[in-house]
Amino acid sequence: MSSRVLVLNGPNLRRLGTREPDVYGASTFDDLVALCRETGRRLDLHVEVRQTDDEAEMIRWVHEAADERLPVVINPAAFTHYSYGLRDALAQRTAPLVEVHISNPAAREEFRHTSVVAGVATGTIAGFGMLSYVLALQAVAELIAQDAAKS
């Protein structure tokens, strides 16, 4: 039976393909969803991809993941840099949590250099475009396998 994984995306990510293509590339959000689902199938993961521009909705999804012990891949987008509410929700995680970014925030504007999420994540993958999501899902699959081997 495949493990369920939530791939959560924050503000403006539904606009991929038209939003700053020089930074985020030409792939659309639908392309991202297809990539994550296909990667999940190869890794025996049931991947649910969600996007919201609403901080409260994102926090509800994180609570759902904690309550159901679901691994999470999260691109918090702008929430990365200031949402202590999201950070506190993520700190309640009960399964692997991988922070992911399409671009490399450390190579961008100064305000993007700080992640309030990174300190509560299992790890962070950034700067590899859409491949960042593939790498994050591979990491989640490996962490699930390690946990299963311990049981």
pLDDT above 90: residue 113: no
Question: Do the annotations mark residue 103 as ligand-binding?
Answer: yes
pTM, entire model? 0.92
Q: How far apart are CA 151 and CA 149, in angstroms?
A: 5
pLDDT above 80: residue 6: yes
- pLDDT value at residue 19: 67
Question: Do the annotations mark residue 113 as ligand-binding?
Answer: no
- Which domains, and CATH codes, for the chain? 3-150 (3.40.50.9100)
Q: What is the distance in angstroms between the CA of the first residue and the CA of the last residue of the chain?
A: 16
Compute the average pLDDT of residues 68-94: 95
The full 3-state SS of 10-23, as one line of letters, equals CCCHHHCCCCCHHH
Question: Do the annotations mark residue 67 as ligand-binding?
Answer: no
- pLDDT value at residue 115: 87
Question: Which sequence positions are flagged as catalytic?
Answer: 24, 101
pLDDT above 90: residue 121: yes
Question: Do the annotations mark residue 75 as ligand-binding?
Answer: yes
- pLDDT value at residue 23: 59
Question: Do the annotations mark residue 147 as ligand-binding?
Answer: no
- β partners of residue 74: 8, 99
Query: Strand runs (DSSP E) across the chain, as ranges?
Result: 3-9, 45-51, 72-75, 97-101, 123-126
Question: Do the annotations mark residue 151 as ligand-binding?
Answer: no
What residues contact residue 122 under an 8 Å CB cut-off, 6+ apart? 96, 97, 98, 139, 143
Q: Residue 11 burial by CB count (10 A; 0-12/13-18/19+): exposed, middle or buried?
A: middle
% residues pLDDT > 70 (the chain) = 89
Compute the average pLDDT of residues 63-77: 97
